[in-house]
Amino acid sequence: MTRISRRTFLVGGATLTTTTLWGQWGRPSFAQGRDKVVNLYSARHYDTDEVLYTNFTKRTGIRVNLVQGEADPLLERIRSEGRNSPADVFITVDAGRLWRAQEAGILQPIRSQVLTRGVPASLRDPDGFWFGLTRRARVIIFAKDRVDPSQLSTYEALANQRWRGKVLIRSSKNIYNLSLMGAMIGHLGVKPTEAWARGVAANLARPPQGGDTDQIRAVAAGVGDLALSNTYYLVRLMKSSKPVDKEVASKVGVFFPNQRTWGTHVNISGGGVVKTAPNREAAQKFLEYLISPEAQVIFANSNNEYPVLDGVAVDPVLASLGTFKADPLNAAIFARNNAEAAMIADRSGWA
């Protein structure tokens, strides 16, 4: 059974002031208006995000009511609530899910200079329906003792026969993999992407199972030599206080694919304002706050994600993985290619 929880973040006696950081950045001050609450439906499951909600209330006097759950049930809840939905903001991980929300008609376009200046064009919907809040790179994890990184090059090369029985990856139905294939469709077309998916399916070390962390652990254990994972999963292991996690992290390396072609695939977590939002002004202020320098630092340091705002420092452990050229393809393109990617996965035999 899917669980949806609700919490309210209050700051007693909050004054409606603007921090020096905002003033220096040149962003508009958040003054108290008629809207005193923002109802957030979020599919992000990181307790560290609570600091963002508390700080937003401190800055604005607007309290945050959090309804938390999985993305699809939250979307269905907003749809079923219809015009009476209290939802103001929908936040989730992966542009594919934001696209689904847009296609379902539950988001409205927002015109905000703060958001369009702060969020790169490739990380937001061209029509303003949703905006990226954090970035996550999908990289190749390799066994240090069995793979020379000079043997690695592109995502496409994972389909080469040299990696037969050595590739680890979660289910093709996973949204991260659908969006990666969506990006490949955008760059290569449908037929080459399907050929790639068939090659990957033929190269699997085991049937797809578990999440990204499970793939990393399996590489360290010798089940396979290569895996695909978002970077923050590895950083969590690197930062863990558990010796077993640190040992896993020490056995694997990171390779950023496609540096000589279209760049490493970058996805987002992001959000948009719900079409029927009863507190639209507060909802927009909330999204604008989430791309402020203060909030971006919290995002970067709490869940080991890359900030979207230029000039914000990356978490030191994440930064130790190295710099890379990111794919400039607009997230809306690979997001809307998710449906085609799912059909490709079904045809390819990649479970």
Tens-place pLDDT, residues 44-103? 987 778 999 999 999 999 999 999 999 999 999 999 999 999 999 999 999 999 999 999
Three-class SS of residue 228? strand
> What is the predicted pLDDT for the residue at 281?
96
pLDDT in tens, 210-244: 999 999 999 999 999 999 999 999 999 999 999 99
Is residue 8 scored above 70 in pLDDT? no
Q: Which residue reads 């696209």 in tokens?
A: 99
> What is the predicted pLDDT for the residue at 10?
47
Helices (DSSP H) in the chain: which residue ranges? 20-25, 49-60, 71-81, 95-103, 113-118, 175-188, 190-203, 212-220, 231-239, 243-250, 280-290, 293-302, 316-319, 331-336, 338-348
> What is the predicted pLDDT for the residue at 322?
97
> Do 305 and 93 meet the contact criterion of CB atoms below 8 Å apart?
no
DSSP symbol at 47: T
pLDDT in tens, 309-351: 999 999 999 999 999 999 999 999 999 999 999 999 999 989 8
Separation of CA 246 from chain center: 24
> Do 329 and 262 meet the contact criterion of CB atoms below 8 Å apart?
yes
Looking at every residue in the chain, the average pLDDT score rounds to 91
pLDDT in tens, 174-215: 999 999 999 999 999 999 999 999 999 999 999 999 999 999
> What is the predicted pLDDT for the residue at 15?
31
15 Rama class: left (phi>0) / alpha (psi -120 to 50) / beta: beta
> Do 324 and 136 meet the contact criterion of CB atoms below 8 Å apart?
no
Cα–Cα distance for residue pair 69/271, rounded to 1 Å: 15
pLDDT in tens, 249-275: 999 999 999 999 999 999 999 999 999
What pTM was computed for the model? 0.89
Q: At what angle do helices 95-103 and 71-81 cross, to 10 degrees?
A: 20
Cα 316 to Cα 12, 47, 141, 212, 270: the distances in Å are 34, 21, 19, 21, 23
Three-class SS of residue 345? helix
> Do 253 and 141 meet the contact criterion of CB atoms below 8 Å apart?
yes
Q: Residue 110: what residue type?
A: I
Domains of the chain: 5-135+267-317 (3.40.190.10), 137-264+322-348 (3.40.190.10)
